[in-house]
């Protein structure tokens, strides 16, 4: 018990002293996850909105694939990207394997289906509610999608949070394509796994505390913002 208490205290010291290695790992994790989230959101939100508002040739097939890939095993995604980026792969000449860019690609592949599928559900419900109004105003598809994305922006925050949570907690795929290289591609999750195997529980505990703190802080902040904007603007599809 005393030993565990010492480990916890030492991990807290690493955090409050802004340990250089700890800050470097946290910075890399945030850079990779936020970059992946922005890229995936820029594709996933419009795709989800399009699937929710339009029925076109192949739309059902796309929806099936999007829903299916929500549960893609991370190691499978990592293996596919590894084969594409390896020297013998079609994209090997780019030299992206074992770089932060490869990890961003891996996380994008994993969270894009989540963002697209969840945003489709959110916007589909709102589209059904406003459909008669849109038809009466003869609004085109682009304007309809733009309007629904704006109207449902607070519900879509939850979608983005789900994507970010999936990205920041990823281990398998980023380990395969990133290699967990010191001072280059180490993230919080891959470092926790490695430090536990080395017996360096202090750093592993510190990283675990940071992960929990980030998760709680982001959710609390987003809930505060959502409540504030709902009270001031009153967005119907988020109620």
Mean pLDDT along residues 164-189: 90
Report which of 41, 224, 49, 44 is spatially closest to residue 151, judged by C-alpha positions. Answer: 49
Asked whether the predicted pLDDT for residue 234 surpasses 50, the reply is no
Mean pLDDT of the residues in the chain? 87
Q: What is the pLDDT of residue 233?
A: 52
DSSP code of residue 71: T
203-218 pLDDT, tens digit per residue, is 999 999 998 888 888 7
88-101 pLDDT, tens digit per residue, is 889 989 989 999 99
Asked whether the predicted pLDDT for residue 113 surpasses 90, the reply is yes
3-35 pLDDT, tens digit per residue, is 677 888 899 989 999 899 999 999 999 999 999
Q: What is the pLDDT of residue 165?
A: 86
Cα 204 from Cα 191, distance rounded (Å): 7
Q: What is the pLDDT of residue 1?
A: 56
Asked whether the predicted pLDDT for residue 226 surpasses 60, the reply is yes
Gap between the terminal Cα atoms of the chain: 47
Mean pLDDT along residues 53-73: 86
Confidence of residue 135 (pLDDT cuts 50, 70, 90): confident
Asked whether the predicted pLDDT for residue 239 surpasses 60, the reply is no
Asked whether the predicted pLDDT for residue 229 surpasses 90, the reply is no
Instruction: Give yes or no for a contact between 155 and 237, defined as CB atoms under 8 angstroms apart.
Output: yes
Cα 81 from Cα 104, distance rounded (Å): 11
Cα 67 from Cα 42, distance rounded (Å): 18
Choice between 59 and 226, residue whose per-residue pLDDT is larger: 59
* DSSP, residue by residue, 127-165: HHHHHHHHHHHT--HHHHHHHHHHHTHHHHHHHHHHHHH
Q: Taking the model in full, what pTM does it have?
A: 0.87
Contacts of 79 (CB under 8 A, 6+ apart): 176
Tokens 């360096």: give the residue.
Answer: 200
**Apex CA 117: angle with CA 148 and CA 230, to 5°?**
40
């Amino acid at each position: 018990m005393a030993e565990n208490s010492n480990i916890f205290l030492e991990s807290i010291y690493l955090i409050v002293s802004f340990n250089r290695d700890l800050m470097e790992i946290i910075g890399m994790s945030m850079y990779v996850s936020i970059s992946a989230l922005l890229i995936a959101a820029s594709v996933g939100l419009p795709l989800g909105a399009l699937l929710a508002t339009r029925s076109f040739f192949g739309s059902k097939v796309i929806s099936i694939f999007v829903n299916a890939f929500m549960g893609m095993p991370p190691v499978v995604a990592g293996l596919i990207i590894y084969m594409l980026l390896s020297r013998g792969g079609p994209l090997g000449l780019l030299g992206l394997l074992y770089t932060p860019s490869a990890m961003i690609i891996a996380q994008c592949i994993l969270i894009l289906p989540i963002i697209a599928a969840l945003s489709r559900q959110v916007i589909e419900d709102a589209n059904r509610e406003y459909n008669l109004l849109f038809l009466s105003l003869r609004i085109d598809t682009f304007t309809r999608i733009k309007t629904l994305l704006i109207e449902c922006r607070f519900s879509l925050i939850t979608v983005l949070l789900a994507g970010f949570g999936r990205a920041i907690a990823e281990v398998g795929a980023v380990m395969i394509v990133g290699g967990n290289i010191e001072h280059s591609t180490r993230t919080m999750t891959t470092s926790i796994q490695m430090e536990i195997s080395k017996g360096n529980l202090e750093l592993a505990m510190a990283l675990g505390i940071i992960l929990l703190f980030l998760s709680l802080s982001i959710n609390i902040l987003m809930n505060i913002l959502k409540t504030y904007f709902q009270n001031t603007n009153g967005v119907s599809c988020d109620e």
